[in-house]
A and B are shown apart, each in its own frame.
Chain A
């Protein structure tokens, strides 16, 4: 591939090919179905045993939490919000890249998304599951979670719809449901492919049931494409709303450092930033292990790295702007909150955040670095770490409020840390199961962007 291809040619056949190698429709089906149809490789068993053990750690930590109560966490006064909300915002942010790729890039007709959208939508769903655990258990009494729902109860009162915490409930459940529907709709034709290729009765029945009898009829494709487009159009504002509403948890409070109007866009940019980094971390490994380099090419990875550079720069700008406004507002509490962030007891976390989120993505200005697999992998890990610390830094604003007499310091306990580590176990276990049982690339969609799919292929225009 020449590095000087002009990629905005009107004639698609002159653009950078999205599927490389000498592939046709059949070989694309074969490549994508191979990991699902062949016996799991030994590394898969090792990986799932490892992630399963970490998942057990999560389950035992949750059991311990339910048994003892939230005293096992490091929460205190004034830091009444700790790892639970940090992890919630971290995980739900990871999910945002999947929806951005599947919905917003679809509406912008970015055809390179077809190779990575299934993968990142799966990541979205599993990340949102990890996120939802934390609000569900954060009181230590998950059996009273139904108090959140607007259902008639013996106390005859209703949830407070003027509270951003309740908005969160609606935002998360809607986001999870719509992401799941979107993912499933995308999967239907591919499940039919797996059904038609099935060699055993069990596979035929299971994939057949989930494929709903899909037969690729054009009258079906017509409604299907309409549904897909409508879901994309719904998911695009939805994904922007979800992290905006998460930021309202902070922004609608009266706390200096939280009560700012920049929060919604800044949170959304950060979410996309962290999510793309997670896609890169996972994809770099998966395309290598599953031999999908013809479908997920260096061009795809480079596009994602450009998104990381753009959103990382927005995040860096937001950090700077927060400081500027803290000074320019003339509000001494606001100014103190920010000086304390950068130079107070949590300065170590603040500077980890700045190095990982602001400095590390800037290496992607250089084509050599953003097309290097080891460099992008390392930077993506740094971004993931940095974005977790961003949420930590924001939440830790609590440790010094208006009255110095009530200042404190939050130290996570071993339960806090084990629960965070355990949530990665849940995420990777779900992800490994997905890689084994479902096609990791959208078969029907990738074929649609191959030149041979054009009914005028081979004709002169």
Chain B
């Protein structure tokens, strides 16, 4: 007997307000493995879902510090160690003149960390995801709002979860295969 693997149940909501109310209700009911989808970020949704703060800031801080130290090390080693050039009688390690390049490298490394760190935290690029199978999900990037509850949630029971979402205003409820 082959058993189908399921991703979870996905429902559509019409407004940001109903989506947020639904997220709050799920959080208060004890659900943790659920996700909301919207065409733009909805303010207050992180609290409504009970999420912690993003860790991205720490990644960028490390990146910026790496950029700063690499740039200083490069300029010190090339100008004051490997090949000393006397320019206008200035000290070989003239740190004042090294500020612009150090700053630019710090910004460059931080920006790379911000973008690639964001993608890594989001597990992107990931061109396939089960939620795309929902028959109306193509509107999620335009004007519609969706909510999915993952089968991995301890409270997940297909029928009960679906009727709970229905009671919160969810429409077009579909059980999605993984």
Q: Residues of A with Cβ closer than 8 Å to B?
A: 24-26, 29, 150, 156-164, 166-167, 170-171, 173-174, 177-178, 181-182, 184-185, 189, 192-193, 195-197, 208-209, 212-227, 230-231, 234-235, 237-238, 241, 245, 248, 443-445, 447-448, 452-458
Contacts and interface: CB of A to CB of B under 8 A. Distances in A.
Top 7 nearest A-B pairs by Cβ distance? A25-B143, A227-B118, A212-B125, A158-B78, A221-B41, A167-B100, A26-B143
Contacts, number: 208
Interface string B107-125: 1101110110111011011
B64 to A, nearest CB: 8
B54 A161 contact: no
A225 B41 contact: yes
Contacts of A177: 108, 111
Contacts of B141: 189, 192-193, 195-196, 214-216
A225 B83 CA distance: 45
Nearest to A210: B125
B43 A455 contact: yes
Interface of B: 15-17, 19-20, 23, 35-46, 49, 51, 54, 56-57, 60, 74-75, 78-79, 82-83, 85, 87-88, 90, 94, 97-98, 100-101, 103-105, 107-108, 110-112, 114-115, 117-119, 121-122, 124-129, 131-132, 137-143
Nearest to B113: A230
Contact of B114 (A163, A174, A227): A227
The DSSP consensus for interface residues of chain B is helix
B87 to A, nearest CB: 5
A178 B105 CA distance: 11
A195 B139 CA distance: 11
B46 A222 contact: yes
Contact of B83 (A158, A174, A208, A447): A158
Contact of A160 (B41, B87, B107, B127): B87
B97 A161 contact: yes
A455 B44 contact: yes
A455 B24 CA distance: 12
B122 to A, nearest CB: 5
B121 A241 contact: no
**Residue from B57, B100, B126, B138 whose CB has the most chain A CB atoms within 10 Å:** B100
A213 B78 contact: no
B132 A234 contact: no
Given A170-B100, A219-B51, A234-B114, A455 B108 contact: no
Contact of A453 (B42, B119, B129): B42
A204 to B, nearest CB: 11
Nearest to B92: A162
Given A160-B85, A214-B124, A457-B17, A178 B42 contact: no
Given A162-B97, A174-B105, A234-B107, 14 more contacts: A156-B83, A161-B98, A162-B94, A170-B104, A174-B104, A178-B111, A181-B115, A193-B39, A196-B141, A219-B51, A230-B56, A238-B104, A241-B103, A457-B16
Given A171-B104, A227-B115, A158 B39 contact: no
Nearest to B23: A218
